[in-house]
Amino acid sequence: MSSDQIVIVGAGHGGVQLAASLREEGYDGKLILLGDEKDLPYQRPPLSKAYLKRATPEDGVLLRGPDFYPQNRIELALGERAVEIDRAARRLHLKSGQVLDYSQLVLATGGVQRHLPIEGAHLNGVFSLRTMEEARALRGWLETAQNIIVIGAGFIGLEFAATAASQGRKVDLFELADRPMARAVTPQTSAFFAKAHTAFGVNLHFRSSVTAIKGENGKVSSVVLSDGTSLPADMVLIGIGLVPSDELARASGIDAPNGIKVNERLATSDENVFAIGDTVYHYNTHRGAEMRLESVQNATDQARTLAKLLVGKPANYDHVPWFWSDQGDLKLQIAGFLDESDKIVLRGSYEDRAYSLFGFKNGALTGVESVNKAGDHMLARRLLGEHILVTPEFIADPASDLKALVRPRR
C-alpha cells in the first residue's frame, strides 16, 4: 500500500481520528490531512464553556499535540481549502492552486453555523461559535459586555448563556420553539433545564424571536424583537444549528440529499470517496432510518470504522449514538433516542438535580437522558449497544440493581 495516498478533507474530530486510526491499523501509504483553519486541530465542545471561562488554555483544547503529526507521518496542511474534486482523475484541487492526487478521498467537512437572515447580522459584536477564531473574539468581548443576547436555545446557546450568566452578565435568550433543546430532549428535561437556567440568571423568552439587530458606528447596540420592542445589546450570539458542509461533494455530482449520503461502508456514490462526521447522511441502525448526527461520538466512531475498512479489515458502523452538554453545574448525557418513546420512566430526582429518564417504545428501551448521572449514562450505552432486555417495570422499581443487568454471569 506504499503507493497509496489518502487525502482527508477536514481536520476536526473525525478527520484527526481517522488519520490516527489509519496509522494504528497499519496503513503505510501517504496521508494528507487538510484543514481550512490555520489553528492546529482542536476540540470544539470546550469553546462554549471552559475556554470562554479561561479555565482551559488554547493548547489544552488541542486534539493532538503538534509533534503527533510528524511522528505519525501525517502531512498536516492548515489554512488549505478544497474547491473541486476531479473524480475521473482522482484529483483534489485546492484554493491555493495546489492539486493533490488521491487513491481514496475522505470528506470530514463537518458543518457551518446556520445563517440568520435578518438586518444587522454582520455587525461588529454579533457572533456564532463554531471555530477557535470565533471563540477568541467572543471571549474578548465577553470581558466587557454587560447586556448579552443569545438567539437559539440549543446546546451552544444554552452552554454560552450559562457561562455568561455565571460571570455576572445580563443574558436574554430567545427561542422560536416553546422549550429549550426541543429537537434533542424530552419535554421533561426541557422543563428541568428551563428552570435551571432561570436560576442561573438567564432570562428565557420562548415563542419569541429577534427580527433585527441595530448598531451604532458599525457595532451592535440593540435588538428588535418580534413584538416590536427593543432591548439594549452589547453583543449577540447566534446559535440556531448547523448546515452540513456538503457543497464540495454536490459540486462534483456526489449524492448529497441532506448532507453527504454514504452506504454501510461509509462510501459515497463514488466508490473512491468516503465521508464521516456531522456532514454524513447515513442509515442509523439504532434509529432504523437515514439521518445526520451532529456529535463527537458519531464523527470519531465513524472514523475508527472507516480506518479498518480502508485497510481491508471487516467493520460495521453500528455504534450507539450518544451526546452530552455541560450547562452550569449540570451535565446532560444522552444515549440513543427518546423522541419516539411511548413510555418514559424516571429514576432519581429532579429536586436533587440528578436523574435519568429511560425511554421505551413498544416495551423496548430506545434511549436514556441523564443529568448528573454519569453511571446511568455508561450503563445505558451498554444496554443499548448489547441489546440487553430490560422492562419499564424493572427500571421504575427504585430497588432494582441496574448494574446486575450488565454484570458478567459465572
Instruction: Say if CB 9 and CB 109 are below 8 A apart.
Output: yes
Instruction: State the residue for C-alpha cell 463537518.
Output: 110
Q: At 215, which helix (H) or strand (E)? A: strand 210-216
Chain position carrying cell 476540540: 43
Confidence band for 252, pLDDT divided at 50, 70 and 90: very high
Residue type, 207: R
- Beta carbons within 10 angstroms of residue 253's beta carbon: 11
Q: How far apart are CA 113 and CA 240, in angstroms?
A: 7
**pLDDT (mean) for 245-261:** 97
Burial group, residue 164, by CB count within 10 angstroms (0-12, 13-18, 19+)? buried
Residue with cell 483553519: 37
* DSSP alpha helix (H) spans, 336-386: 374-385
Confidence of residue 1 (pLDDT cuts 50, 70, 90): very low
- Quick one: pLDDT at residue 53? 86
Strands 5-9 and 104-107, how do they pair? parallel
What share of the chain in percent tops pLDDT 90?
94
Give the pLDDT mean for 28-44: 97
What is the enclosing helix (H) or strand (E) of 196?
A: helix 187-200
- First CA to last CA across the chain, in angstroms? 45
Residue 359 in contact with residue 367, Cβ under 8 Å? yes
User: What's the Cα-to-Cα distance from 323 to each of 198, 298, 345, rounded to whole Å?
Assistant: 23, 9, 20
Contacts of 17 by beta carbon, 8 Å cutoff, 6+ apart: 299, 300, 303, 304
- Which whole-number Å values give the CA distances from 376 to 4, 36, 115, 321, 401, in the listed order? 44, 38, 37, 15, 11
The stretch 171-189 carries a mean pLDDT of 97
- If you average pLDDT over residues 189-209, what whole number do you get? 98
User: What's the confidence (pLDDT) of residue 150?
Assistant: 98
Mean pLDDT of 102-111: 98
Check whether 171 has a pLDDT greater than 60: yes
What is the average pLDDT value for the chain, to the nearest integer? 95
Secondary structure of residue 306 in the 3-state scheme = helix
User: pLDDT tens-digit profile of 320-352?
Assistant: 999 999 999 999 999 999 999 999 999 999 999
At residue 54, the pLDDT reads: 86
Could you tell me whether strands 104-107 and 273-275 are parallel, antiparallel, or unpaired per DSSP bridges? parallel
* pLDDT for 2 beyond 90: no
Task: Report percent pLDDT > 70 for the chain.
Answer: 99
Average pLDDT of span 301-309: 98
- Confidence band of 55 (pLDDT split at 50, 70, 90): confident
Residue 135: what residue type? A
Helix (H) / strand (E) containing 260:
strand 260-261
- Average pLDDT for 8-13: 98
Q: What is the mean pLDDT of residues 122-135?
A: 95
C-alpha cell, 59: 493548547
* pLDDT higher than threshold 60 for residue 410: no
d(CA 267, CA 14): 15
What is the predicted pLDDT for the residue at 203? Answer: 98
Average pLDDT over residues 32-47: 96
Q: How high is the pLDDT of residue 38?
A: 95
User: What is the arithmetic mean of pLDDT over 47-74?
Assistant: 93
- What is the signed CA dihedral for 387, 391, 395, 401, rounded to 10 degrees? -70
Three-state secondary structure of 150-187: EECCCHHHHHHHHHHHHCCCEEEEEECCCCCCCCCCCH
pLDDT (average), residues 10-36: 98
Q: Which three cell numbers stand for residue 220?
A: 451592535
- pLDDT the model gives residue 409: 53
- Structural domains in the chain plus CATH codes: 5-112+243-310 (3.50.50.60), 115-240 (3.50.50.60), 329-405 (3.30.390.30)
Q: 132, 42 in Cβ contact below 8 A?
A: yes
- Enter the pTM of the model: 0.95
pLDDT at 3: 59
The mean per-residue pLDDT over the stretch 80-91 comes to: 98
Residues 212-241: tens digit of each pLDDT: 999 999 999 999 999 999 999 999 999 999
Average of per-residue pLDDT across 80-89: 98
